[in-house]
Each structure stands twice: as C-alpha cells, then as structure tokens.
Amino acid sequence: MRRLLALGLTLLAPLPLAGGDSGTGRLPAAQPTLTGDLQIHDPAVLEVGGRYVAMGTGFENVDGGTLRIKTSADGLRWSDAGTLGTAQPAWVAKQLGTSPPNLWAPTLSRRGGTTYLYYAASLFGKNTSGIGLATNPHLDPAHPAAGWTDQGAVLTSRPGDTFNAIDPFRIDTADGRAWLAFGSFWDGIKLRELDPKSGRLRSGNTALYSLASRGGGAIEAASILEHGGYFYLFVSFDRCCAGLESTYRIMVGRAKKVTGPYTDREGVPMMKGGGSQLQATSGRFIGPGGQEVYRNGAQDWLVYHYYDGDLGGTPQLQTAQIGFDAAGWPVLGALPK
C-alpha cells in the first residue's frame, strides 16, 4: 500500500541510453544521482515546460496529511514545495467515517492541457478506501499547489468488496481511451475505463477487469506503460513501509491489450502470482517500490522510492530511464553509488 511521507510529481531530464535508444536491446544509462530534498513516498512524476514536479504520500498528521510536493529545474536536484493544501477533501471523512492520518499514492497525467491528479484515502489494513480526483487547467511548476479543483471520489471500496480502492494510476492509450489501474492485496490489481475528459469512470463500460493477483498476498502500486505493441504492468511485491525491514521489490509483466491477460518472462500469468523481478534490495537501496512510469520527452522513465540504508531507512526518491532488452522486456540501468 503506497503510504507514508510525501505527495509527489517528479519530472526528469532525458538521459541517453548507453549505446542507443530504448527498444534496441541495449542497457539504459546508469540511474542518475539525485540531490537535494529527496524524502518522499509513493512518488509520481510530471514534466511541465521543462521543469519537474513530484508528488507523494502525505506526512501522517502533518498539514492534514495532505499530499506533499517537490520541484526540480533539471530532474536531478530537488526542493520541497510544501503540501497540496492543509485539509483533506470533505468526501474523505464521509467515505471512511473518519479523517485518516494522511492521503496516499498520487498519480499525475495530462490530457488536452488539463492535469489530472488521482490520490487515495484509506484506513490502514482495511479496504474501506476511496480514490479521489483533482484537476488543474494550467499547472504552473513554479506554483504547483495552485489552481487545483477537487472533483470528489471517483471509485470507492468497502468491507465485502473483493478489491481495495487505493494506489491509482491513469493511462491514456494510443487509441484515445483512458483507464484507471488500482488495487492492493485482496484480489489484487484491477482496471476500470475512464471518460478521458472528465477523468471519471466511463458510464458506458462498467466492467471491472482483473490484471494481477497473488491470492490475497502483497501486490500493489500498479502502473502501466504502452510500448512497442505491448502493455507493461509494473507492480510492487512484498512488504512496504517498514524502513530497513522493507522487502518491497518491483515486478513486471506484459500483455497485448491493456485489459490483459498479463504474463511474465516465463509465461506465468500475473493473475496466478506471476511477475518478473525488475529491481529489488541492493546495498543501501532497500525495498524499492511504489513505482510509477511516466513520459519524459521521447523516453520512458520509472520513478520509485527506496529506504536508504545510510539514512536509517528514510524513504528517498529515485528515477531511472527504462530500456528494453532484445526480447522486449524492460531493464533499468545500474544504481547510483
């Protein structure tokens, strides 16, 4: 479950693949060394006019637990930009019966000049949850907290439902349609179609698609990338939010349609627990996950958090250009030192 510290939109300057562009079967460049204020959890990224905004999960019981914001002029050095307001939207307490300590796991996307922000509100360990939407017609990276209108809840869940309405991710596909992936534990990762303009669920398609499951086990933080005739589904497996004890790891599968079926490198269906490991704990980079794909110029990138072993397990921001091997599977460059 994407939760903890900051609300994040993250934007990064394009870096070249080592030896070629993504999709050539060559490894991408090493992951960049980021500096500045990197404390964030469940980051999302958006590039606006050559500048970068990152949003992430709110600090518990600080500024209402609202989403936190960071900005960067180059995608490498980051500064804290405060929070998205100081009070949670009214629908949250109505849906949950109380105001939770913080809001979780934002995702950012743009269409037709409008920026769409989806976020989650939940009671920890329960599927009493909801996904909200805010829109901004003119997002200014110099004032990223300004101009937002909350549109209320888009999707909710409650005890008895087979899914958990958290960890949203919007993908606008090449055919002009839009989709919302979400889910954590329970029956796993789900998908609903959106109306592209309003950002709300499409009334003409009420189907709930099942994308990935571990039979009630730990799977969450879905994100989907359309590339080279495939849809790639990135998820996080195992234990989140435990600092140095976290075992989060980034997994991936792919499908020919956004609705699935998704399989891993070995052909194991993701609905049966399949997933190919993309990144796991290595050195001081503990429990990487809460990831999200985003477009940066002509390149595909991944943003995620990890728990820094040199900083006592504080969650930190990291970005990586996505490359593709000769078989068309995503690969990431080496971790920074």
CA distance 203 to 109: 21
CA distance 104 to 67: 7
CA nearest neighbour of 116 among 171, 58, 74, 60: 171
Torsion of CA 262, 229, 172, 168, to 10 degrees: 20
State the distance between the two ends of the chain, measured CA to CA, in whole angstroms.
Answer: 28
CA nearest neighbour of 323 among 107, 50, 16, 54: 16
Q: Which residues of 267-304 are buried (b: 16+ CB within 10 A; e: fewer)?
A: eebbbebbbbebbbbeeebbbbbbbbbbebeebbbbbb
Q: Which residues are catalytic?
A: 42, 220
Beta pairing partners, 306: 316
Q: What sections of the chain are H helices per DSSP?
A: 90-96
Residue 39 per-residue DSSP state: B
Q: What sections of 195-281 are H helices per DSSP?
A: none
CA distance 86 to 83: 7
The amino acid at 152: G
CA-to-CA separations, 255 to 218, 234, 303, in angstroms, rounded: 21, 12, 22
Q: CB of 265 within 8 A of CB of 329?
A: yes
DSSP 288-305: EEEEEEEEETTEEEEEEE
